[in-house]
Amino acid sequence: MLIWKKLERPVLYNAVVIEGLPGIGNVGKMVVEYLIEKLKAKKFAELYSDHFPYHVFINEDSTVDLPRNEFYYYKGGKQDLVFLTGDFQSMTPQGHYEIAQNELDFIREMNINRMITLGGFGVEGMPAKPKVLGAATTKELVEEFKEAGVIFEDGERVGMVVGASGVLLGMGKLCGVEGVCLMGETLARPMFTDARAAQAVLEILTKKFNLTVDMEDIKIKAKELDRAIAKAKELEAQMLTKLKKPGEELTYIG
């Protein structure tokens, strides 16, 4: 079961969809929500599905809403943009396909044939400066986004894109919506909302689309994260020093 609530029918010209849903490091959702806020993008459609959880959220004003995906548009830049974000990805495999197919139908109704899906790419050990990795539906898109600073590898390290960002790309390839997935490197474990990875992806996107976006807030959050990581490392080093008494070999306790 899918229910669309269409709030407005915006006139868009040559638009691109940028998708960011909850996922690893919450990178995609953080990037898209940041752009929606800073660009004051306007919500124009909501999608509800029985593959989202069976509860309502209670808002601050005590009103309730079912989980949903949301579409926003922004017409102030070089190119019209449509943002896709939401509370959840599908809870079931079948739902991933059903939701992607319906969202792609909606995208094609708007005469949009290009899509950028966002996510995190989990690595071991916090990267000094997170890279943005990519995969795409066509070789032309690979070349185009290489020039924008995205790293494309041979598939051996990345291997697959799981969830909405992947299925949207794969289904889009079958129905004429080309797409590229941008993945900011983030710590695979423990998982946290990663402002550093989000900043890396935002830098690629704002440059690529020539967007004037105030980056101050994301930089602050990324620096806070930098400090928290430095602090954690320092504590770890102190702990190891205490454990290692003079004349003894260090024994790792982990």
Q: Which residues bind a second copy (CB under 8 A)?
A: 1, 3, 5, 48, 50-51, 53-66, 90-94, 96-98, 101, 134-139, 142, 152-155, 158-163, 166-167, 169-171, 173-174, 181
Residue 201, both tokens: 């992806």
Shortest spacing between CB 69 and a second copy, in angstroms:
14
Residue 245, both tokens: 């008494």
CB-based contact 134:142 (threshold 8 Å): yes
Residue 244, both tokens: 């290692």
Question: Of 1 and 253, which CB lies nearer to a second copy in the complex structure?
Answer: 1
Shortest spacing between CB 119 and a second copy, in angstroms:
11
DSSP secondary structure code for residue 151 in this structure: B
Give the C-alpha separation, 247 to 67, whole Å: 59
Shortest spacing between CB 57 and a second copy, in angstroms:
5
Please list, in sequence order, all residues whose beta carbon lies within 8 angstroms of the beta carbon of residue 66, skipping any fewer than 6 positions away: 48, 52, 56, 57
Question: Of 20 and 163, which CB lies nearer to a second copy in the complex structure?
Answer: 163
Question: Of 61 and 216, which CB lies nearer to a second copy in the complex structure?
Answer: 61
Q: CA nearest 18: which of 163, 125, 164, 138?
A: 164
Give the C-alpha separation, 241 to 220, whole Å: 31
Give the C-alpha separation, 148 to 208, whole Å: 6
Question: Of 174 and 220, which CB lies nearer to a second copy in the complex structure?
Answer: 174
Shortest spacing between CB 7 and a second copy, in angstroms:
12
Shortest spacing between CB 161 and a second copy, in angstroms:
5
Question: Of 79 and 88, which CB lies nearer to a second copy in the complex structure?
Answer: 88
